[in-house]
């Protein structure tokens, strides 16, 4: 059996203090403690469907009623959930003054695959400080946002942020139909969300399998310059996000994985902190006292 990567917090804090360009790549495990189900393993089933099979343009084309019910369920869930200590630690770490205490003169960007908006809410609830000298984006939601709604009409593509609950009356209450055997309402297209500009059918503003994630150019630059990559609560199975840590290591940077369990490629990490990231991450970033 090969040795596991180090779980020594003291050595990690030395690496952290010497890092100048830090990124975090996050996944569903970041929001697990908030009560948001992950995609793989327990929690990956919605009604009787595999959550991943509903996250495709083809699924939406075939059954917009079902796919909207799935995203309506996720919207309602996210609205009820609160950011947890891991979101708060990352939000605090994105503040230059706070970060300077543990990683002086460094930059930091959170690259998240999550669409639940919890990292944004954690950032919004940070006390505002003059942080204008930070040139980097604090957070990039590469798989889009649950609360974005996009027009499906090629000539329009209007996108807007919509926190209405329920997003349309026809979806009201369908989030409670969770048993596999429940009769699923077949909602006509005309009662599903529509574009506020042109009236065409609208779709959830998330990136589906087969679609191009957002901010790939900016992310590519951040990954190339990063000397430390924190991998938080992701199974590291979906590309391109799954490849960022290895890319950072290839050019000499360090990788620290924070996951409840073993995850893809973690044996190659420099540090592996197994456990709930809502505990390990605030501790590793020396931000526990900020909660
Ligand atoms: P997954 O569901 O694949 O993985 C979640 C990871 O979080 C697993 O490795 C768990 O062990 C870990 N985990 C669970 N609870 C945790 C906790 N409290 N602390 C730390 N780790 C914990 O989710 P993602 O990796 O985010 O894409 O999946 C990637 C993408 O696949 C998603 O963005 C989504 C999905 O299908 C699209 O929809 C395009
Ligand atoms: Zn439109």
Q: Whose CA is nearest to atom 30 of ligand 1?
A: 238
Percentage of the chain modeled with pLDDT above 90:
84
**What is the per-residue pLDDT for 205?**
98
Decide if 253 contacts 268 (C-beta within 8 A): no
Comparison of pLDDT for 282 and 44, the residue scoring more: 282
Which atom of ligand 1 approaches the CA of 211 most closely?
39
- Measured in whole angstroms, the distance separating CA 57 from the mean position of its chain's CA atoms is 20
User: Does any ligand 1 atom lie closer than 6 A to the CB of residue 45?
Assistant: no
185 CA to centre of ligand 2 in angstroms: 25
* Residue intervals in the chain for CATH 3.30.1600.10: 37-80+146-206
- Name, in order, each residue with C-beta under 8 angstroms of 176's C-beta and a sequence gap of 6 or more: none
**What is the per-residue pLDDT for 178?**
72
**What is the per-residue pLDDT for 4?**
86
**What is the per-residue pLDDT for 291?**
38
Q: Is 45 annotated as a binding residue?
A: yes
Residue 40 binned pLDDT confidence (cut-offs 50, 70, 90)? confident
By mean pLDDT, which of 124-128, 157-161, 203-207, 286-290 is the weakest? 286-290
Pairing of strands 21-26, 228-232: parallel
- Residue ranges with CB less than 5 Å from ion ligand 2: 151, 153, 156, 158, 195, 197-198, 200
Exactly one of 143, 158, 214, 251 is catalytic; name it.
143
Residue 130 binned pLDDT confidence (cut-offs 50, 70, 90)? low
Please tell me the distance from the alpha carbon of residue 103 to that of residue 226, in angstroms, as a whole number: 13
Residue 132 binned pLDDT confidence (cut-offs 50, 70, 90)? low
**What is the per-residue pLDDT for 58?**
96
Mean pLDDT of 215-235: 98
Q: Residue 46: nearest ligand to its CA?
A: 1
User: Does any ligand 1 atom lie closer than 6 A to the CB of residue 193?
Assistant: no
Mean pLDDT of 193-198: 97
Cα dist from 66 to 36, 58, 175, 186, 191, whole Å:
19, 12, 11, 8, 13
40 CA to centre of ligand 1 in angstroms: 7
**What is the per-residue pLDDT for 51?**
83
pLDDT per residue as tens digits for the range 259-287: 999 999 999 999 999 999 999 999 999 87
Mean pLDDT of 44-55: 85
Superfamily of domain 1-36+83-143+212-290 in the CATH hierarchy = TPP-binding domain (3.40.50.1220)
User: Does any ligand 1 atom lie closer than 6 A to the CB of residue 260?
Assistant: yes
Percentage of the chain modeled with pLDDT above 70:
95
pLDDT per residue as tens digits for the range 81-116: 999 999 999 999 999 999 999 999 999 999 999 999
pTM for this entry: 0.95
Cα dist from 52 to 34, 39, 189, 248, whole Å:
20, 7, 22, 28
Q: Residue 201: nearest ligand to its CA?
A: 2
Which atom of ligand 1 approaches the CA of 235 most closely?
9
**What is the per-residue pLDDT for 99?**
95
Cβ neighbours around 258 below 10 Å, total: 31
158 is catalytic: no
* Residue intervals in the chain for CATH 3.40.50.1220: 1-36+83-143+212-290
Structure tokens that stand for 18 in this block: 């010497």
113 CA to centre of ligand 1 in angstroms: 9
Question: CATH for 37-80+146-206?
Answer: 3.30.1600.10
Q: Is 35 annotated as a binding residue?
A: yes
Q: Is 155 annotated as a binding residue?
A: no
Residue 180 binned pLDDT confidence (cut-offs 50, 70, 90)? low
């Amino acid at each position: 059996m090969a040795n596991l990567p180090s779980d020594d917090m003291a050595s990690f804090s030395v690496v952290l203090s010497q890092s100048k360009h830090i990124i975090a790549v996050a996944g569903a495990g970041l929001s697990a403690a908030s009560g948001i189900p992950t995609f793989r393993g327990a929690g990956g089933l919605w009604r009787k469907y595999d959550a991943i099979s509903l996250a495709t343009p083809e699924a939406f084309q075939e059954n917009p009623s079902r796919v909207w019910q799935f995203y309506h369920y996720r919207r309602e869930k996210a609205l009820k959930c609160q950011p947890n200590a891991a979101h708060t630690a990352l939000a605090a770490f994105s503040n230059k003054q706070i970060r300077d205490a543990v990683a002086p003169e460094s930059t930091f960007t959170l690259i998240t695959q999550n669409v639940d908006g919890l990292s944004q809410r954690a950032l919004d609830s940070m006390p505002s400080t003059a942080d204008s000298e930070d040139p980097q984006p604090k957070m990039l939601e590469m798989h889009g946002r649950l609360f974005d709604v996009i027009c499906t009409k090629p000539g329009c593509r209007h996108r807007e942020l919509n926190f209405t609950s329920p997003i349309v009356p026809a979806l009201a209450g369908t989030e409670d139909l969770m048993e596999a055997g429940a009769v699923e309402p077949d909602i006509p297209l005309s009662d599903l969300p529509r574009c506020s500009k042109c009236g065409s059918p609208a779709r959830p503003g998330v990136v589906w399998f087969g679609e191009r994630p957002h901010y790939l150019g900016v992310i590519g630059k951040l990954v190339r310059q990063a000397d430390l990559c924190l991998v938080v609560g992701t199974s590291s199975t979906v590309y391109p996000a799954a490849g960022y840590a290895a890319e950072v290591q290839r050019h000499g940077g360090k990788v620290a994985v924070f996951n409840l369990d073993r995850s893809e490629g973690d044996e190659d990490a420099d540090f592996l902190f197994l456990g709930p990231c809502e505990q390990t991450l605030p501790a590793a970033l020396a931000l526990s006292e900020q909660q």
